[in-house]
A and B are shown apart, each in its own frame.
Chain A
Amino acid sequence: MITAGIDMGSATIKAVILKDGKVLAQNIIDTGREKEKLAKEALDGALKKAKLSLSDVEHIGVTGVGYKIIPFADKQVTVVGADAKGALYLFPSVRTVIDIGAEEGRAIKCTPDGRIVDFAINEKCAAGAGSFTESMSRAIELSVQEFAKVSLESTQSIPLNAQCAVFAESEVVGLIHAKTSKADIARAVHDGISARISAMARTVGLGKDVLLIGGMARNVGLVASLNKDLELEVMIPKEPEFIGAIGAALSAAE
């Protein structure tokens, strides 16, 4: 059976094609205003890579921000549900899933059979999500990738007093004037996000195996801060941004 999963993120839209539970193709595009059109575009891209057409797809699952407004999908899956499903399918040992996207952070605790015990979401505050690194990397004139990497070269930890991403921007400007190195500034930002995320993960409960997914899992600086805060090594899938879409596709197959 061929199924498709679409994950409507706040920054990107992800689409995957599964055949009998195996990933055939995946596609990621930037999001925009016309959600429905873009969701279709993301799916078409994935289908093209899989050399399939829409008529080959039996079921389409959709998740993410505003997942209820995609009319061509026949299965709507909550973000937390899709994350847990995708994560446990690929990594059966995982009990805690942390998903950090552009505008949201989530921590999910599940049972071995994939049941969700508890979850926490931060969707209110940019300081606990990826867009914080975006604005901060702009402030110190680095690309997001450079910003992530340079963080590892930090020699000292500087706590940011500001808890708010808006106020932190002013504080970072102050750090720049004080000639603080870019590495130390980047680490301070990652430590700040990590503090929020790990507090959330602790609230839901840490299992033995913790999986980090979402676009921010590619940020090596944040991963280093998280590992330190959680006192463990998080597991990271090779393509961490597609787990939600895979979960949606799996749910559609049921």
Chain B
Amino acid sequence: MTTGTEKRKEKKVEYWKWPESRSTTPGIDWTKASIITCGIDVGSVSSQAVIMTDGKLFAYSSRRTGYNSPESARNALNWALEGTGMKPEDIHYTVGTGYGRVNVPFAQRAITEIACHARGANYLYGPSVRTILDVGGQDCKVIRCDERGKVETFLMNDKCAAGTGRGMEIIADLLSVPVQDIGRLSFEVDEEPPPVSSTCTIFAKAEATGLLESGWPLNRVLAAYCRAMAHRIGELILRAGVAKDFAMTGGMAKNEGVVKRLAKELNIDILPPSFDTQIAGAVGAALFAKVLAEKEQKK
């Protein structure tokens, strides 16, 4: 028998969120660094803090965004600093980015996430990147940049949940599948099904329910949904135009179910990430912070 409390706890399982993460780069003595900068990306679903020592990634954290943006920013920073011995006062310059960027009280500057993702992708993937697809919790952006990570053009969908992280969250919740498992499971099918036909996330959710009712196995429904998501995102990319190399940032980059199908649909290679793609915006912000801090030191 389950008690009331247990039931409530059960209900609290949140399938739709990526697990939180933090990391410190080993072998860096931050006390010897001449310049320490910080980038904070307050997104709609998760917030990241990145600490850089002399322009090198030193530590980062990625946590959920709460209802209070300043607090989310501070929590992310504190977690990134945890165990490093570094204190917030040791940081010379902080740049905020993301939709909550103006709500980072300890940041000296706010820079748009488009500029930061381009800059961050340039650092993380290398200077060969020309097209960046950033799929976040509530929007989707295609950014074209030069070899220094400077934005040339961009296209954005922030009007419609289809083709954003939100669309994936809804299916994770509906089917009670943790979002990090969706990609793997979606390939465990006998054959690739046709994509879910609805554009609107609300209709797609109903369609997925219908497919399950009609006897489709869970993995097949996930495959159909991922394929539709890849198609939807692909339409935006085609409008922006693809230039090599192509890289992804944001949470969706971790969902191979969409990434692989997208690569297939557009017949492109997508650079494989060797880091948590959700930190790209904060990395870019920390890099901008370094430039700004150096400018200030020269004065």
- With an 8 Å Cβ cutoff, the count of chain A residues facing the other chain is 14
**Are B210 and A167 neighbours in the complex by a CB distance under 8 Å?**
no
CA distance A167 to B140 in the complex (A): 14
Q: Among the interface residues B159, B161, B213, which one has the most CB atoms of the partner chain A within 10 A?
A: B161
Q: Which of A33, A126, A163, A167 contacts B203 (CB 8 A)?
A: A126
The residue that B202 contacts in the complex, of A33, A126, A163, with Cβ under 8 A, is A126
The verdict on B160 contacting chain A, using a C-beta distance below 8 Å, is: yes
Indicate if B199 sits at the interface (CB-CB under 8 A). yes
Of B166, B167, B210, the contact of A33 (CB 8 Å cutoff):
B210
Residues of B within 8 A of A33 (CB): 210, 213-214
A163 and B202 CA atoms in complex are apart in Å by 13
Query: CB-CB contacts of B94-134 with A at 8 A, as 1s and 0s?
Result: 00000000000000000000000000000000000000000
Contact in complex: B161, A125 (CB < 8 Å): no
Closest residue of chain A to B201, judged by CB? A166
Q: Which residues of A contact B167 (CB under 8 A)?
A: 166
CA–CA, A134 to B118, complex, Å?
Answer: 40
How far is it, in angstroms, between the C-alpha of A103 and the C-alpha of B170 when the chains are bound?
19
Given known A33-B213, A166-B161, A166-B170, contact A125–B200 (CB-CB < 8 A)? yes
Residues on A with beta carbons closer than 8 Å to the beta carbon of B160: 125, 163-164
Which of chain B's residues 177-226 have a Cβ closer than 8 Å to chain A? 198-203, 210, 213-214
* CA gap between A133 and B159 in the complex, in Å: 18
Binding site for B on A (CB under 8 A): 33, 103, 124-127, 131-132, 135, 163-167
Known: A33-B210, A131-B203. 19 other contacts (CB 8 A): A33-B213, A124-B198, A124-B199, A124-B200, A125-B200, A126-B200, A126-B202, A126-B203, A132-B202, A163-B159, A164-B160, A165-B200, A165-B202, A166-B166, A166-B167, A166-B170, A166-B202, A167-B161, A167-B166
Cβ contacts A to B, 11 pairs, < 8 Å: A33-B214, A124-B198, A125-B160, A125-B200, A126-B200, A126-B203, A135-B202, A164-B160, A166-B161, A166-B166, A167-B161
Query: Could you mark each residue 162-174 of chain B with 1 if its beta carbon is under 8 Å from any beta carbon of chain A, else 0?
Result: 0000110010000
A125 to B198, CA, bound (A): 9
* Chain A positions within 8 Å of B166 at CB level: 166-167
Q: Is B159's CB under 8 angstroms from A131's CB?
A: no
Tell me if B138 is interfacial: C-beta within 8 Å of chain A.
yes
| B161 → A minimal CB distance (Å) | 4
Pair A164/B210 contact, Cβ less than 8 Å: no
- With both chains docked as a complex, state the minimum distance between the C-beta of A23 and any C-beta of chain B, in angstroms: 31
Least distance between A216 CB and chain B CB atoms (Å): 16
Closest 8 pairs between A and B when the two form their complex, measured CB to CB: A166-B161, A126-B202, A124-B199, A126-B200, A163-B159, A164-B160, A166-B201, A164-B161
Q: Which residue of A lies closest to B214 (CB)?
A: A33
Interface size in chain B (residues, C-beta < 8 A)? 16
A167 to B203, CA, bound (A): 14
A124 cross-chain contacts in B, Cβ below 8 A: 198-200
Provide the residues of chain B in CB contact with A131, threshold 8 Å. 202-203
Contacts of A125 in B (CB 8 A): 160, 199-200
CA of A174 to CA of B138, assembled, Å: 16
Taking the closest CB of chain B, its distance from the CB of A163, in whole angstroms, is 5
Query: Which residues on A sit within 8 Å (CB–CB) of B203?
Result: 103, 126, 131
Chain A residues with CB below 8 A from B138, complex form? 167
Shortest CB-to-CB span from A224 to chain B, Å, is 24
CA distance A125 to B161 in the complex (A): 10
In the complex, what's the smallest C-beta–C-beta distance from B66 to chain A, in angstroms?
Answer: 14
Of B159, B160, B199, chain A has the most CB atoms within 10 Å of the CB of B160
A124 CA to B197 CA in the complex, in Å? 10
Q: A205 vs B72: C-alpha distance in the bound complex, in angstroms?
A: 49
Chain A residue with Cβ nearest B169: A166
Chain A residues near B159 (CB-CB < 8 A): 163-164
Nearest-CB distance from B165 to chain A (Å)?
11
A206 to B176, CA, bound (A): 47
User: B17 CB to closest chain A CB, in angstroms?
Assistant: 15
Q: How far is the CA of A125 from the CA of B203 in the complex (A)?
A: 8
Set of chain A residues within 8 Å of B200, measured between Cβ atoms: 124-127, 165
In the complex, A131 Cα to B203 Cα: how many Å?
Answer: 9
> Max chain B CB contacts within 10 Å: which of A103, A124, A127, A166?
A166
Cα separation A71 to B248 with both chains bound (whole Å): 48
Across the two chains, which residue of chain B brings its CB closest to A177? Answer: B67
CB nearest neighbor in B for A131: B202
* Shortest Cβ gap from B186 to chain A (Å): 21
Distance from B199 Cβ to chain A, minimum over Cβ atoms (Å): 4
Closest-CB distance, A105 to chain B (whole angstroms): 12
CB-CB under 8 A from A103, the residues of chain B are 203
CA distance A126 to B198 in the complex (A): 10
Chain B residues positioned under 8 Å from A163 (CB to CB): 159-160
What residues of B have a CB within 8 angstroms of the CB of A127 in the complex? 200
> What CA separation (Å) do A165 and B198 show in the bound complex?
14
Chain A nearest Cβ from B272, distance in angstroms: 30
B166 nearest CB neighbor, chain A only: A166
Q: How far is the CA of A166 from the CA of B164 in the complex (A)?
A: 11
Residues of A contacting B214 in the complex (Cβ-Cβ under 8 angstroms): 33
